Structure 1
Amino acid sequence: MRVVIAEDSVILREGMVELLTARGCEVLATAGDGDELLSAVAEHLPDVAVVDIRMPPTHTDEGIRAAVRLRADHPGVGVLVFSQHAVPSLAAQLLAGDPSGVGYLLKERVSATADFIEALRRVAAGGVALDPLIVSRMLSNGTRPLDRLTAREREVVDLMAQGHSNRSIAGRLVISERAVEKHVASVFLKFDLPSTDADNRRVKAVVTYLQEVGP
């Protein structure tokens, strides 16, 4: 099985290379961001690509956007999303159209190496491998976007709606500015707001929030 790995964490990336190589897989290339992933797949045409969701430069949805593009450009290449983030809407994007050769596993819920390898082989062969938690959330994803947020994320987007900057939000919630950035990025993901050239997701997130909470 020929594999390309896209993971921005060097330690995790090198660990996966050692793991897959020891299990008889051929790792053709590794990538640290979405652009490198697309280039590596175009050059090597692997059987399957392992992709994280959040990658540079913004660490929000670059990986999943690259995965969707990869499926469009190379429909014969399987895509296994391997992430710590359970976002049903992103799984739905991958499954749109032809759902064959797609997987979405959560890092903390893969308890055995053999399970990961088996899922990888299934995806490479054109099958589907979805974490049961992802399936459950997809089936119940009729909930409002606001219901997807944690209590802290709701606090953050509420302060965003009041016009506070990340620095101001950090001061009010007594957390680091970096923590605020992570919460904001998570809000963007859960509100299904992909990156754009104009990068007006902050405004869109506030509009979505205000529409949900009502007058």
Structure 2
Amino acid sequence: MLAEDSVLLREGLIRLLGEAGTEVVAAVADGPSLVRAVVEHRPDVAVVDVRMPPTHTDEGLRAAVEARRAVPETAVLVLSQYVEVAYADELLADGAGGVGYLLKDRVAQVDQFLTALDDVVAGGTVLDPQVVA
């Protein structure tokens, strides 16, 4: 499933994932909708934008953490335009795996994005090299 407030990026990701053979069961534009969709659909993975309405600070990340508490088996791949080490730390805090943090620029590198997605679905941890540098 996808949680991205930019309609262009959201629709582009739906198309990209569909072409890669991945079914997108829900696509939402805000944090509360993300949590509801994860509980309802129980997806293998949620791809989540960190900054979402209404304040565009960390609503997506907070919703992803809440969704993982509700449905722990859901992998989460967070996308951000900015290197925010604190966001990556919060996402990784439970140590459970099945999480990733990538800069949105990586989506343009389709193979790298899809590999990261596969890795988090398999229970791995993926961190953008710029985040850990």
What amino acid is aligned across from residue 94 of structure 1 in structure 2? L
The structure 1 residue matched to 2:54, chosen from 48, 57, 77, is 57
Query: Are 2:79 and 2:104, in contact at CA under 8 Å, matched by a contact in 1?
Result: yes
The structure 2 residue matched to 1:41, chosen from 27, 38, 54, is 38
The structure 2 residue matched to 1:85, chosen from 82, 86, 109, is 82
Query: For residues 51 and 88 of structure 1, what CA distance do their matches in structure 2 show?
Result: 16
Query: For residues 108 and 12 of structure 1, what CA distance do their matches in structure 2 show?
Result: 12
Is 1:106 aligned to 2:103, yes or no?
A: yes
Question: How far off its partner does 1:99 sit?
Answer: 3.7
Larger RCO (alpha carbons 8 Å, 6+ apart)? 2
Is 1:124 aligned to 2:121, yes or no?
A: yes
Instruction: Give ranges in structure 2 of 5+ residues lacking alignment.
Output: none
Q: Secondary structure of the residue that 1:75 maps to in structure 2?
A: coil
Identity among equivalent pairs (%): 56
TM-score by length of 1: 0.60
Q: Which one has the bigger helix percentage? A: 1
- Residue by residue over 1:114-148, the C-alpha shift from the partner in whole angstroms, topping out at 9 and shown as x without a partner, is 11011101101111111111112xxxxxxxxxxxx
What amino acid is aligned across from residue 133 of structure 1 in structure 2? Q
TM-score by length of 2: 0.96
Query: For residues 56 and 122 of structure 1, what CA distance do their matches in structure 2 show?
Result: 28
Is 1:16 aligned to 2:17, yes or no?
A: no
Instruction: Give ranges in structure 1 of 5+ residues lacking alignment.
Output: 137-215
What amino acid is aligned across from residue 87 of structure 1 in structure 2? E
- Count how many residue pairs are aligned between Structure 1 and Structure 2: 133
